[in-house]
Amino acid sequence: MPAETAAEVKGPQPVQRPAKRRNSGTSVATEPVERFFLARSGADGAHPALDHEIASESEALVESLKTGLSYYVISEFRAIPDVSGKMPQIRKEAVKR
């Protein structure tokens, strides 16, 4: 019985191409600036109750672990009309601080 190599057994393989991305119509022009807030102590959780702002997500994680409170991540956007095509669209743009 002759020994077969892996190339002979598998045969030619198809070329892998990256998937094409479609434009969803609501693209983000710039990356949003995220802000992190610790939840206010004693809040019922029905509505966001923000306490003090924290500089980074890693610091928010540590404070959340220490205090047992949740933390919030907030991104701010502005609606921008786009009438460049045949059909007007509303796009979002991140607000930079």
pLDDT in tens, 12-53: 666 666 665 555 554 545 688 899 999 998 877 788 889 999
> What is the pTM for the complete model shown?
0.59
Residue 96: pLDDT band (50, 70, 90) is: confident
Closest CA to 76 of 56, 91, 93, 52: 93
Residue 73's CB: how many other CB atoms inside 10 A? 11
Neighbouring residues of 33: CB distance < 8 A, sequence distance ≥ 6: 75, 76, 94, 95, 96, 97
Considering only CA atoms, give the Rg of the chain. 25
